[in-house]
Structure 1
Amino acid sequence: MSIDEPFRAVYRVINGQEIDADIYLPKVGRDVREAICPILINIHGGAFMLGSSDMVNRDQINDCLGRQWIVVVPNHRLCPQVNILEGPMEDCRDLLLWIHRGELQKLLLRDVNCSHVVDLDHVFAFGTSSGGTLALSLGFGVPRPVTAIFDMYGPSTFSNPFWTTKIPTLLSQLPSHLTDDFINRVFDEKIVPIKGGVSLEGQQPNGPDFADPRQAYALMQIANGTLMEAIFPQGDWSRIDPAENISAHFPPTFIAHGIDDEMVPISLTRLDIWSQNNFDIKVVIGWTA
């Protein structure tokens, strides 16, 4: 196997289902006997119900490879067949544990036969949109948090009234022919999917494909303000809400969020919570296009 190309590795098996990740390795010169590489866990977006590892930004990956980082891009099980805690969040946390246990290093030595050395003291998390939220979840509720987190426009609180409010501009874009029978076909998938549709971050120029029950279901929940019920029905949100789990032990974190974002409003970063904790490691920035 050429180390110039990403390869896929299974990091978790649950109920007989394999959960995998794409591993990107930086190029190492022939005269380098050991390349000690930080790790970046790069998590895709998609409202916890859509997306896949194939949809992460390649320019971002190449930038990290140029810095001699190993980039790990996981798939995770998608809601609503499984809730956010037991699906996406648990999978990403298990990936972090898999890396810290040394399984990635064993894999590189066994299957790739390369000179890359995993730097377990520098394992970082990055994600966009819902992937940003999942990156934040690697800062709490785990035996060993990541070293630092970069969250791009990912919600960091679930207590904001936005989550239960209809979005008129999005509702107006939904086709009138969508029915509950059609969108509920998403539950016909017998195995919890780890890939689905688009990530809602512009990869599909013509927008979501409403002929796909999964994409139609996700957009319907967001538009109607019922996303929370779809991804964590009757759940204890304090267990998964990043803003409710800030502590002095939380990793250094940078949140980048556009002030004109309508799909994920900047208010969902809970600027007051992050700034009032007085942690020098917390930085929030907003921008306009």
Structure 2
Amino acid sequence: METITQPYKLINGNPLLADLHWQNDSPTINGNGHPIALILHGGGLVIGAKEIIPYAQMTYLTRAGFLVVIPNYRLCPQVSAFEGPITDSKDCLLWAIQNADSLLAQTDAADAYRVDSEKVAVMGHSAGGGLALTMPNQSDLPVQISAVLDFYGAKYLDHPSYHEPHPWYTNIVVSWDEGYANHVFEGPQVSFADPYLGTETPPPRDAWLTSHLKNGTWLNGVVQDGNLARVDGTTGFSKTYPPTMFVHGISDTFTSCALSERAHKQLQELGVTTEILLVPGKDHMLDLTLKEGDQEFLDFVVPGLEFLVRHVGLPV
């Protein structure tokens, strides 16, 4: 797998970066070129970075024939969910559609490697799954999204579970001083942040996220203007929404699998091609540590990736 990192956008002179991954000898769509797969990371829109996307999923998709594009996006709460994560994800996809061939021409990509920018798939994990669901609703993209893959993503944002204290945090996380947590608004805008895994007082960003999840105010804190509809991909569900697959652990204690079941049913009723894979006994982030040779990767991840492969027209 070949990789380059490029700035796709400047914010106040500071670059937002995206990784591009490809395999030179991979299949094309009927000889016409390689489709794009945009993958969006999770982290509650507050933490995370492009580096947390599972390597096994990247390599599977590049070997199947995709040019895989993975961006960092501006993180909340320094910016709203719409102005940061959604707008940046859309702008990265637009940048890739318009510039991928010229960028690859300056690299070690084989002369025969060309991008079919008419074929685009989007996928994401957790909050990134929610972002992926919003991409078909972006009216200023020059192409229609061919397929969407949502791993346990956020959706139906008016659901009470997004506006109540999160049970994951109620009993296990101490409360942080609001004044300390609000230091997250100080300093330059952040587009990547590793989660704090220590046992002492966390950085303000992590304190802000866990405190708001514990208090049931996370969603309002990242949306900021109260306009849930424009950051919820399900508000754009229609008869023309692209083929979409959901993968969700039945025992997910962070985001209920019932929301993926609801989305799957709604798309079915609209006549949209849709599939769902409910994984027995698995919690949130069920796929992030799996390797390609793992049986669970074959059982619970490959079906989703193959869904994207089929619906952009690559050989399975």
Question: What TM-score bracket applies, with the shorter chain setting the length?
Answer: 0.7 to 0.9
- Aligned with 2:255: secondary structure? coil
Give the equivalent residue in structure 2 for 1:90.
Answer: 87
CA distance in 2, matches of 1:19, 1:263: 29
Per-residue CA deviations over 1:214-251 (Å, capped at 9, x if unaligned) read 11211211121101111012332122221211112211
Q: In the TM superposition, what are the counterparts of 1:15-26 in structure 2 within 5 Å?
A: 15-26=12-23
Q: For the Cα contact (< 8 Å) 1:156–1:270, is it kept in 2?
A: no
Per the TM alignment, residue 18 of structure 1 is displaced from its structure 2 partner at its CA by: 1.1
Give the equivalent residue in structure 2 for 1:274.
Answer: 266
Give the equivalent residue in structure 2 for 1:161.
Answer: 160
Which amino acid in structure 2 is aligned with residue 173 of structure 1?
I
Going from structure 1 to structure 2, the CA distance change for 1:225 and 1:26 (only over 3 Å counts) comes to same
Give the equivalent residue in structure 2 for 1:201.
Answer: none
- Aligned with 2:106: secondary structure? helix
Per-residue CA deviations over 1:98-124 (Å, capped at 9, x if unaligned) read 1222x1111111344532201112211
CA distance in 1, matches of 2:161, 2:49: 25
- Aligned with 1:262: secondary structure? coil
Per-residue CA deviations over 1:24-80 (Å, capped at 9, x if unaligned) read 121338xxxx88222111111000111000111001111112212211111000000
CA distance in 1, matches of 2:261, 2:161: 12
CA distance in 2, matches of 1:193, 1:64: 28
Q: For the Cα contact (< 8 Å) 2:75–2:85, is it kept in 1?
A: yes
Question: Which residue of the other structure, out of 114, 117, 120, is the alignment partner of 1:117?
Answer: 114
Per-residue CA deviations over 1:188-218 (Å, capped at 9, x if unaligned) read 12x21110123xxxxx8x6787522211211
Going from structure 1 to structure 2, the CA distance change for 1:242 and 1:187 (only over 3 Å counts) comes to same
Give the equivalent residue in structure 2 for 1:174.
Answer: 173
Q: For the Cα contact (< 8 Å) 1:44–1:130, is it kept in 2?
A: yes
Going from structure 1 to structure 2, the CA distance change for 1:228 and 1:89 (only over 3 Å counts) comes to same
Going from structure 1 to structure 2, the CA distance change for 1:165 and 1:134 (only over 3 Å counts) comes to same
Gaps of 5+ in 1: 199-203
Larger displacement relative to structure 2 (40-49 or 160-169):
160-169
Per-residue CA deviations over 1:163-190 (Å, capped at 9, x if unaligned) read 11112341221135x211221121112x
CA distance in 2, matches of 1:26, 1:209: 43
Q: Which runs of 4+ in 1 moved over 6 A?
A: none
Gaps of 5+ in 2: 282-316
Give the equivalent residue in structure 1 for 2:280.
Answer: 288
Give the alignment's TM-score, normalised by structure 1: 0.87
RMSD (CA atoms): 2.3
CA distance in 2, matches of 1:242, 1:208: 36
Give the equivalent residue in structure 2 for 1:254.
Answer: 245
Per-residue CA deviations over 1:245-272 (Å, capped at 9, x if unaligned) read 1112211110111121111112333616
Give the alignment's TM-score, normalised by structure 2: 0.80
Larger displacement relative to structure 2 (53-62 or 237-246):
237-246
